Structures are given as structure tokens and as C-alpha cells.
């Protein structure tokens, strides 16, 4: 019970830290010297630890999430493995088409 109370109600993480924009409101350009992707094992671990909890997952941060070529696949994995979660995504739309 105590462990459950300590578990976050909201988890925000990014699968990479790339962005193709330069919004004046954003600290992105000042805080990212090293560009890279989250290791698949860490992504797996997040999904496993969240499991069937009813929380909010926000899988982006200071980045454009759809620059990850496997982002749609990752969203599907989150939906399947964390089916009680709400998912929030924000994008600058640059990598979305009608199909996506
Ligand atoms: S698109 Fe998002 S992450 Fe990229 S610079 Fe703009 S606010 Fe920042």
C-alpha cells in the first residue's frame, strides 16, 4: 500500500532529446549539448514498472517526439502494456502526415 502511494501519478519522459524547431519560449537550445536516444531497456523498464496503474504518461519533454522514427510504435506499446494510463503528447506537427 505504501509503495502504491509513493508511485507517481504523472510520469514525463522523452525517448530522445532532438528537436527541429527553435521556439523562443523554449530552453531547448540552451540545455542540449548531447543528442541521443533512450536505451530500449530503459523504455521497457518504464512500461514494466507502470504496468496496469492508472496514471498519466507524458512521453515527451523538451523535444519533438515524432523525430524518433519508432515513436508511433512506442506509443502503441504504451497503449498495449499500460492500458489504464492516459497518454499526453504534444508535437510541432512537422513530422506528421494524414496517416500518422
Ligand atoms: S518544438 Fe517544442 S521542444 Fe522544440 S523548440 Fe519548440 S517548444 Fe521547444
30-80 residue pLDDT tens: 876 788 999 999 999 999 999 999 999 999 998 999 999 999 999 999 999
Give the model's pLDDT for residue 29. Answer: 81
pLDDT at residue 92 is higher than 70:
yes
Q: Ligand 1: which residues within 6 Å by Cβ?
A: 19, 21-23, 26, 28, 62-64, 92
CA of 43 to the centre of ligand 1 (A): 22
Handedness of CA 18, 39, 2, 85 (dihedral sign): positive
CA of 24 to the centre of ligand 1 (A): 9
Q: Where are the beta strands (DSSP E) in the chain?
A: 10-12, 56-58, 86-87
pLDDT at residue 3 is higher than 70:
no
The residue extents of the domains of the chain are: 2-87
- Beta strands 10-12; 56-58: pairing state: parallel
Give the model's pLDDT for residue 100. Answer: 82
Cβ atoms of 96 and 52 closer than 8 Å? no
pLDDT at residue 1 is higher than 80:
no
Among 25, 27, 28, which is best to mutate for testing ligand 1, by the most ligand atoms less than 8 A from CB?
Answer: 28
Residues 6 or more apart whose Cβ sits within 8 Å of residue 51: 81, 82
Amino acid at each position: 500500500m505504501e509503495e502504491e502511494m509513493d508511485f507517481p501519478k504523472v510520469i514525463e519522459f522523452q525517448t530522445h532529446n532532438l528537436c527541429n524547431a527553435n521556439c523562443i519560449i523554449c530552453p531547448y537550445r540552451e540545455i542540449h549539448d548531447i543528442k541521443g536516444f533512450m536505451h530500449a531497456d530503459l523504455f521497457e523498464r518504464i512500461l514494466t514498472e507502470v504496468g496496469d496503474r492508472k496514471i498519466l504518461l507524458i512521453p515527451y519533454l523538451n523535444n519533438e517526439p515524432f523525430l524518433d522514427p519508432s515513436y508511433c510504435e512506442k506509443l502503441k506499446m504504451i497503449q498495449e502494456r499500460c492500458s489504464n494510463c492516459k497518454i499526453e503528447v504534444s508535437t510541432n506537427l512537422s513530422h506528421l502526415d494524414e496517416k500518422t
